[in-house]
């Protein structure tokens, strides 16, 4: 696999995938991204001048432009990450989630199907010799999805690939719909697909509306650290660079038509997450007032339909494809806090432009979701 089209490559996870594909694999990447509020081209600074990297500002709902790019770039795989991704925003304004996550994925599937149907079936059909297109059997459409499609867990149990879908928010319902479309295109048309469903990501270049970067930056700004409800919702945290490596492992080696769950085996309550960040900051960047960062924690009214617990069983990915998370939460969160301390150039313009320390997409004095 040498040529990969990535959608949503200016986003948090997509940019990690682009960086990994170029720096670690030396693959050619075409990043197709609309650059919504969540698209941050600066996240690609490390690779933007690489001869292996190409960018196209395109909406995934634009069939003609996506098709033209597929025909021109002739990818071995499409890694489809473009989405509206913030649950709180989906409660305030679900329309964009339906449009991008469902209609956009449908458009990507149709464009991919058309491109795939023109590919050679055997090596002999490749002519002239310079034809580097993949065979129909080699092409992959990789859809990146979330564990939120499975709904909410009680105190025990884990999501695995057989867990029935039970989405609760407009965001998770739109992602569940897109997963079903992807599998339908596989079963109906034979499109070679793989799906991954992952738990909550964290790490460098995370847009500061999400819990972890919001808490780090608010703490450094001496602003309240908002927590929904009692802070007892549990998420299973996955370091974004571990996730990028998992995604590339799946697109290269995953079995066609299969789903793989990706998780870090790092369950934490939201309160534990925030308190850990506070402890690390107390150690490496103590408050000038001499008080502790945890004094900034503020509990706010819970959001509607807030799922209690997510936790992933990644056994299939670990045993079948040999992937393992390299970071545990303690090492990953320390790296993340240090990254935000060291990289003000990245987050400061975002904070100044769109955001003043309250959560985006909702009225102030509400909490931060994950």
Q: Which residues contact 227 (CB under 8 A, 6 or more apart)?
A: 270, 271, 274, 297, 298, 299, 300, 367, 368
Give per-residue burial for 41-71: e unless 16+ CB within 10 Å, then b.
Answer: eebbeebeebebbbbbebbbbbeebbbebbe
From 301, 155, 153, select the one nearest 227 (Cα to Cα): 301
Smallest gap, in angstroms, from Cβ of residue 39 to ligand NAD? 3
Residue (175 or 296) nearer to ligand NAD, CB: 175
Closest residue to bound ligand NAD by CB = 11
**Residue 57, strand partner residues:** 33
Smallest gap, in angstroms, from Cβ of residue 124 to ligand NAD? 37
The span from the CA of 88 to the CA of 359, in Å, is: 9
| Pair 353, 289: CB distance under 8 Å | no
Q: What is the SS3 assignment for 146?
A: strand
The span from the CA of 286 to the CA of 292, in Å, is: 8
Smallest gap, in angstroms, from Cβ of residue 111 to ligand NAD? 12
**Binding region for ligand NAD (CB under 6 A):** 7-8, 10-14, 33-36, 38-39, 59-61, 81-85, 100, 104, 144, 146, 175, 198, 200-201, 207
Residue (22 or 83) nearer to ligand NAD, CB: 83
The span from the CA of 113 to the CA of 1, in Å, is: 19
Residue (182 or 227) nearer to ligand NAD, CB: 182
Please indicate whether residue 148 is annotated as part of the active site.
Answer: yes
Q: Length of the chain, please?
A: 370
Residue (199 or 218) nearer to ligand NAD, CB: 199
Residue (196 or 296) nearer to ligand NAD, CB: 196
The span from the CA of 329 to the CA of 236, in Å, is: 9
Q: Cβ-count burial of 189 within 10 angstroms (0-12 exposed, 13-18 middle, 19+ buried)? A: middle
Q: Which of 59, 148, 307, 327 is catalytic?
A: 148
Please indicate whether residue 228 is annotated as part of the active site.
Answer: no
Smallest gap, in angstroms, from Cβ of residue 12 to ligand NAD? 4
| Pair 150, 163: CB distance under 8 Å | yes
Smallest gap, in angstroms, from Cβ of residue 200 to ligand NAD? 4
Q: Which of 53, 150, 171, 205 is catalytic?
A: 171
Smallest gap, in angstroms, from Cβ of residue 34 to ligand NAD? 3
Residue (100 or 134) nearer to ligand NAD, CB: 100
Q: Which of 84, 147, 267, 313 is catalytic?
A: 147
Dihedral sign, Cα of residue 83, residue 88, residue 90, residue 92:
negative
Smallest gap, in angstroms, from Cβ of residue 19 to ligand NAD? 13
Residue (14 or 361) nearer to ligand NAD, CB: 14
Q: Cα dist. 106→70, 73, 165, 189, 335 in Å?
A: 15, 20, 19, 13, 37
- Give me the active site residues, please: 147-148, 171
């Amino acid at each position: 696999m040498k040529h990969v089209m990535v959608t949503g490559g200016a986003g948090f996870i997509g940019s990690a995938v682009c960086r990994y594909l170029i720096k670690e694999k030396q693959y050619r990447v075409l990043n197709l991204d609309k650059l919504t509020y969540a698209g941050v081209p600066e996240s690609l600074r490390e690779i933007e001048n690489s001869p292996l990297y190409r960018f196209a500002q395109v909406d995934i709902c634009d069939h003609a432009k996506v098709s033209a790019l597929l025909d021109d770039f002739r990818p071995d795989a499409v890694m489809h990450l473009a989405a509206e991704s913030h649950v709180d925003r989906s409660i305030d304004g679900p329309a964009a989630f339906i449009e991008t996550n469902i209609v956009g994925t449908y458009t990507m599937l149709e464009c991919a199907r058309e491109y795939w149907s023109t590919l050679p079936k055997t090596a002999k059909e490749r002519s002239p010799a310079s034809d580097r297109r993949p065979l129909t059997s080699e092409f992959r459409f990789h859809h990146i999805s979330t564990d939120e499609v499975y709904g909410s867990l009680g105190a025990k149990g884990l999501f695995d690939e057989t867990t029935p879908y039970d989405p609760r928010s407009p965001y998770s319902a739109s992602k569940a719909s897109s997963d079903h479309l992807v599998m339908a295109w596989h079963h109906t048309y034979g499109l070679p697909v793989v799906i991954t469903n992952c738990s909550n990501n964290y790490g460098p270049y995370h847009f500061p509306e999400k819990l972890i970067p919001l808490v780090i930056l608010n703490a450094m700004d001496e602003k309240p650290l908002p927590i929904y409800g009692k802070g007892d919702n549990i998420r299973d945290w996955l370091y974004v660079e571990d996730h990028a490596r998992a995604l590339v492992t799946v697109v290269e080696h995953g079995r066609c038509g299969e789903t793989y769950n990706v998780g870090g085996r790092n369950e934490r309550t939201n309160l534990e997450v925030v308190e850990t960040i506070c402890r690390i900051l107390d150690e490496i960047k103590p408050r000038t007032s001499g008080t502790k960062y945890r004094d900034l924690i503020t509990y706010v009214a819970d959001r509607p339909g807030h799922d209690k617990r997510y936790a992933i069983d990644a056994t299939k990915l670990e045993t079948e494809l040999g992937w393992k998370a390299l970071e545990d939460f303690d090492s990953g969160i320390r790296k993340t806090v240090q990254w935000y301390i060291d990289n003000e150039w990245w987050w400061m313009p975002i904070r100044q432009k769109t955001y003043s320390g309250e959560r985006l997409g909702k009225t102030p004095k509400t909490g931060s979701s994950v």
